[in-house]
Chains A and B, each alone.
Chain A
Amino acid sequence: MADTSVIGRASFVRGRVTGDGDLEIAGRVEGEIAVSGEVVVEATGLVAANIEGRRIIVRGAVKGDLVASELVSLEATARVVGDLRAPRIAIAQGGLVRGQVATSGGGAARPRAAQATAARAPARETARREEPRREEARREEPRRVVPAPAPSKAAPAKASPAKVESKANGPAPRGATIAGSRVGPPPPVVPVLKKGTKAVQKKR
């Protein structure tokens, strides 16, 4: 009857979730998720795993890459640290992400990574390389994920391709101040660092 699987609010799965069907996550998953259908991470869902599916809808928090053959959609409450890859990608106002976003129709550098688990590892490294805070989080991972295969830690942290950055002529500090000081559109949902600090980090 139900070909939807549910990880309930009070459930914690450590390991790999694979197979056919849809998956709804209201609890916690650590490891790896690859299903043929739709994956919904509910607002209460906490996922530390790469997710692969046909459609991926996120309302909760995910640390990991989202790779879908059809659609990745982040709704207003979504918090994602990781890369998004799908032919169609949508982020609702309020949804937040830190990572590479690539619609595969646009000649993405790694459009086919969806099929190859191994190919995704470098992307994860890329996604996390920046802040020391996230660095910590990553070190935490292998010891907590029990049976999942070490997600190819050894893979070289390949630099993400196609940076247009080279031609950035150093963001004028004045501009940064401007952007920060004006009363802007939607208030940040979460604490925001000073603009200046970020400018430094990003143009690594």
Chain B
Amino acid sequence: MARTGRADVGREAVIGRTTRVRGRIAGEGDLLVEGVVEGDVTLRGDLTVAEGASATSNVEAQAVTVNGALEGDVRARAVTVGGSARLRGDVVAEAFAIEEGAEVIGRFEADFELPPELTGSGSGGKRR
């Protein structure tokens, strides 16, 4: 799955397939996890958990793409859960997508208003 396109490869950190990291990770750029991470991840850039990789982490990042296993809460601008992903944790994001086939357990939370017809009081809905 594509990491949201920053062509600046030099700013991307990779935790390779045979690498295991225990501890917090914080950074300015993007992070690609192909191995194992146990510890919270805070990034200015994007996080990608590749297929076969696993992270036990609470995550804060720009865009988070999960194709492997992620256990922990995610707070991001956009979260994409691929069809091969296993995600257990709560997700707060402005936008998210789940591909069919993903295993997901957690609360998903986006900020939006239902149309006033459904909220009872006619408070500032979008439609009609």
Contact = CB atoms under 8 A, between A and B. Distances in A.
The answer to whether any beta carbons of A and B sit under 8 Å apart in the complex is yes
- Top 8 A-B pairs, shortest CB-CB distance: A140-B120, A106-B103, A184-B77, A190-B112, A175-B60, A90-B100, A96-B110, A91-B98
B120 A137 contact: yes
Interface in A165-202: 165, 167-169, 171-172, 175-176, 178-179, 182, 184-186, 188-193, 198-199, 202
Interface string A46-70: 1110000000000001110000000
Given A103-B103, A164-B89, A164-B90, 15 more contacts: A46-B117, A81-B114, A89-B98, A93-B95, A97-B108, A99-B108, A140-B121, A144-B120, A163-B90, A164-B71, A165-B73, A172-B60, A176-B60, A178-B60, A184-B62
Interface residues of B, number: 52
Nearest to B45: A182
Interface of B: 4, 40, 42, 44, 58, 60-63, 71-73, 75-78, 80, 86, 88-90, 92, 94-115, 117-121, 123, 126-127
Contacts of A140: 119-121
Interface residues of A, number: 67
A98 interface: yes
